[in-house]
Amino acid sequence: MIVSVGGPDGRTTRTDEAGQFLIARVDTGQYTLQLRRLGYLPRSVGVHVTEQGLRVEVELHGITTLDTVRVRAARQAIYGVVGAAADLRPLPGSAIQILGESVRTLRADSSGRFFAPASPGTYLVRARAEGFAPRTVSVTLSPGDGAELALLLDTARAGSQRAIEAAYSDFRDRMLRRGLQSALVPRSELLRHGNGTMINLLRAAPSFGRKVLRVGPYACVFVDGRARPGLSVNAIDPSGVEAIEVYTRRGERSGTLLARWPRGFPCADTGMPPPQGPEDMYWVVIWTAR
């Protein structure tokens, strides 16, 4: 679901799988929340934000003329529908790319729906349609569960998409060759513990803790596939992140990150004490919510 906050500091985010969202660093005052989800009527709600922040619950009402995708509870899969954000119409034939524990590419059917069996784990699901800006969301599948997504695409802006598409191609290569010394951490795990530094939120994420990984003294950071020498992991605002790839120095088997890191430029300090060990994270790829 897409959530927009009106006002001079207007921003847009989306909810996680549980329907929860966080918009951080909002000044006190009166705002209008606009909520949109494919298959539901749009909703606008006036809210007043105080210095203590605000917790709000909003109910959306379904559109009965738009069928939902139904699957058996025992069928583990990622499924849903792709549509236009402006008018909530389905987008038939949209390209769907699923990257994570497994890698899969498929097309939405004539009603904009898609269905892909998937094993337990964390994924990035990316939807593309001609004339629209791509949309990428993170999702985590537990054993025996499915995940339903409504992917709303905005009209494409002027400018080339070649750089970001090349970055996702590299991402696909890394997912195909990833080993134990790597992790893909979704947005929902980063925001589970509320506010905090990115390093602390990353260390608390189950997807990070289950792997043979630690936070070392240095990390080479990429943002949306672009190398950012000197950028600290803690300089990233967690509320704007969709997912994070983490690898040890030897855990990144594809070689795509080493090839794109500027020669001679050092990695950034994480604030953790040296020395760097073989199980410490070295490569960090931030995928922003877009």
pLDDT at 60 over 60: yes
> Where a domain ends, among 159, 186, 206?
159
Q: Please tell me whether residues 181 and 276 are part of one structural domain.
A: yes
Q: Please tell me whether residues 181 and 279 are part of one structural domain.
A: yes
Q: Please tell me whether residues 180 and 144 are part of one structural domain.
A: no
Residue 174: which residues within 8 A CB-CB, separation 6 or more?
Answer: 182, 245, 247, 252, 253, 254, 256, 257
Q: Is residue 71 situated within a structural domain? A: no
pLDDT at 285 over 80: yes
Residue by residue, DSSP assigns 151-195 as: EEEPBPPSS--HHHHHHHHHHHHHHHH--SSEEEEEHHHHSTT-S
- Give tens-digit pLDDT for 181-194: 999 999 999 988 76
Q: Please tell me whether residues 103 and 21 are part of one structural domain.
A: no
Range of the domain at 282: 175-288
Q: Please tell me whether residues 86 and 19 are part of one structural domain.
A: no
Q: Please tell me whether residues 155 and 180 are part of one structural domain.
A: no
- 158 compared with 77, residue with greater pLDDT: 77
Q: Is residue 237 situated within a structural domain? A: yes
- Give tens-digit pLDDT for 164-212: 999 999 999 999 998 889 999 999 999 887 678 899 999 999 999 888 7
- The pLDDT, as a whole number, for residue 74 is 39
Give burial (CB, 10 Å; 0-12/13-18/19+) of 162.
Answer: exposed
- The pLDDT, as a whole number, for residue 289 is 82
Helix (H/G/I), strand (E/B), else coil: 27? coil
161: nearest Cα among 187, 196, 135, 195: 135
CATH code at 148?
A: 2.60.40.1120
- Give tens-digit pLDDT for 94-141: 999 999 988 999 999 998 999 999 999 999 999 999 999 999 999 999
- Provide the whole-model pTM: 0.76
Q: Is residue 36 situated within a structural domain? A: yes
| Domain count within the chain | 3
Helix (H/G/I), strand (E/B), else coil: 260? helix
Quote the tokens at residue 55.
């917790």
- The pLDDT, as a whole number, for residue 1 is 66
pLDDT at 18 over 50: yes
Residue 36 to residues 3, 76, 99, 236, Cα–Cα distance (Å): 7, 26, 25, 27
Q: Please tell me whether residues 179 and 149 are part of one structural domain.
A: no
Q: Is residue 280 situated within a structural domain? A: yes
Quick one: average pLDDT of 153-168? 84
Quick one: average pLDDT of 38-67? 73
Q: Is residue 54 situated within a structural domain? A: no
Q: Please tell me whether residues 185 and 277 are part of one structural domain.
A: yes
CATH code at 236?
A: 2.170.130
Q: Is residue 65 situated within a structural domain? A: no
Residue 142 to residues 18, 103, 104, 289, Cα–Cα distance (Å): 14, 17, 18, 22
Q: Please tell me whether residues 189 and 278 are part of one structural domain.
A: yes
Q: Please tell me whether residues 10 and 44 are part of one structural domain.
A: yes
- The pLDDT, as a whole number, for residue 64 is 41
Q: Please tell me whether residues 115 and 220 are part of one structural domain.
A: no
- The pLDDT, as a whole number, for residue 9 is 59
Q: Is residue 207 situated within a structural domain? A: yes
> From CA 117, how far away is CA 168, in angstroms rounded?
21
Residue labelled with tokens 């060990």 = 277
Q: Is residue 165 situated within a structural domain? A: no
pLDDT band for 68, please (50, 70, 90 cuts).
Answer: very low
Q: Please tell me whether residues 110 and 81 are part of one structural domain.
A: yes
- Give tens-digit pLDDT for 239-273: 899 999 999 999 999 999 999 999 999 999 998 88
